[in-house]
Amino acid sequence: MESTIHRIGAVFTAVGLVLVLAMVDWAPARQDVADPPPDASAQQVVSSYLAAVNARDFSTANRLTLSSVLQFGRLDRAPSFSQIQVGQPRQDDDGSATLGTGFRESVFVPVEFVRNAETATPTPWGYRLVRTSADAPWRIIDNGPV
């Protein structure tokens, strides 16, 4: 009898855990962030990406990057950003790393932000963006410290 009660308790616990995980997995974005227009500047793409990550709108964020490292799934614990300052794009110093893969243009967009309210001091960071032609949309391919 006691064994049966323990099994029933374990089943209820497992079902409860599955329901909680399902609710987290299927939780909607806190806010939908509009995709930038196709002719958006590299700065606009970075701003939209950071806004989408902040809003947990991973569909939009993932469309703006070509790098699986910068993409998110529903169960990911995404960072939050505040005090965001997106700088002027500059010609990519390391364009050779990306231009060999069919991209014709590469820029680096410097950014400063406070990540997850870890410190009050903004972190200097940046995003590398590429596109296949002057008419193609910019997409994020890499990121890192400035």
Residues facing 90 on adjacent strands:
108
Q: For every residue of 57-79, which 3-state class applies, written as one string?
A: CHHHHHHCECCHHHCCCCCCCCC
**Can you give the pLDDT of all 146 residues of the chain as single tens digits?**
666 665 665 555 644 444 444 444 445 568 899 999 999 999 999 999 999 999 999 999 999 999 888 999 888 888 999 999 999 999 876 555 566 678 889 999 999 999 887 777 888 999 999 999 999 999 999 999 98
The predicted structure's pLDDT at residue 20? 44
Which pTM does this prediction carry?
0.77
Q: What is the DSSP letter of 9?
A: H
- Confidence at residue 118, expressed as pLDDT on a 0 to 100 scale: 74
Structural fold of domain 31-145: Nuclear Transport Factor 2; Chain: A, (3.10.450)
